[in-house]
Structure 1
C-alpha cells in the first residue's frame, strides 16, 4: 500500500553536474539544515583520468553565504584514485542536522568535491530527507526538471 511517494520524503537539494571535470574543487550551494532532518551526498566517479584522484567532504557554515565555513568533522571520504581502480564507483556521505556545530551557530552545509591531477568524469547529488515542512519536492533544486510517479 502506497502512503508516501519518495518525492514527499526526499529531495534533490544540491548537485555537482556530471562532467569531465578539470582538476579543481567543485561545491554545491549551501543547504539550510533547518529544512531537513538529514542529507545524503552521493559522489559519482566515472572514468578517472591518468593518475586522477577524487576527494569529497562536507563543509558547514553559519548562513547561506558561507560565513565561518569549516569542515564537518569526519565527513571526508577515502580518496578515490585511478591507480586504485576506483573509476566507475560511488561514495556516500550522510549527515544529520545535529552533526553540525550548532553551539556556534552552524546551520548550513554543502558538499565539496575535489578532482586532483587529471580531468576526470565525476559528479554528485545531495538528497535532503524528512523535510521539516511540506512535501520534500517543494525543496527540490531548480535544476530538477520533472518528477514522474507511477
Structure 2
C-alpha cells in the first residue's frame, strides 16, 4: 500500500492543457514543458462531438528547449486516429503513456508538449498533459500556472 500521507497531487502535476473547446480543422498544442522533473508522463486526449467526416490525431512531441527548437515526434507516443465516420469515435478518450527514457535525452531533447490535430471538420476536443512520479518534492510544485486550486 502507498504512503497514506501523500495526496494524489503530490504525485501528479498538470503540466499543460488544451482546453475543451470547439476547434476548427487545425493543430492545437500545450506549451513546451520541461521533462526534467518527472519519471513518467501521461496525456489524456478527449474527443467531444466530432464534425462530419472529422479526424482527430494526437501525439507527444519533444524539443531541446521551451521554444520548441528541433521539435520532433516521440517514437511510439501517438494515438490511433479517431474518426467520426464508421465507428464514430465522438465522445471518446485516449491515453498516451510516456517514460522519461523514451525521450532523446542524449541529444538534448528534454522538453515535451501534447499536440492534437483535427482534420476535415470543426470538432470538440481537449487534452491534459500530466507529469507523474516527480524526482524531487511534490508534483504540484510543477503545476502549470493555469491550475487555480488544489483541494
For normalisation by structure 2, the TM-score amounts to 0.94
Q: Does 1:87 align with 2:90?
A: yes
Tell me whether 1:140 sits opposite 2:143 in the alignment.
yes
Task: Name the SS for the 1:74 alignment partner.
Answer: strand
Match of 1:68 in 2: 70
Counterpart of 1:11 in structure 2 is 13
Structure 1, unmatched stretches of 5+, are none
- Rounded Cα–Cα distance in structure 2 between residues aligned with 1:40 and 1:143: 18
Detail structure 1 runs of 4+ shifted over 2 Å in the superposition.
Answer: none
Which position in structure 1 is the counterpart of 2:48? 46
Question: TM-score when scaled to structure 1?
Answer: 0.95
User: In the TM superposition, what whole-angstrom CA distance separates every residue of 1:114-135 from its partner, at most 9, and x where no partner exists?
Assistant: 0111110100011110112211
Counterpart of 1:99 (choices 86, 102, 110) is: 102
Q: Distance between the aligned counterparts of 2:114 and 2:26, measured in 1?
A: 14
> SS in structure 2 opposite 1:72?
strand
Aligned residue for 1:125?
128
Q: 1:110 aligns with which of 113, 121, 133?
A: 113
For the aligned residue pairs, the C-alpha RMSD in angstroms reads 1.0
Q: Distance in 2 between matches of 1:90 and 1:27?
A: 17
Residue matched to 1:32: 34
Question: How many residues end up aligned between the 2 structures?
Answer: 148
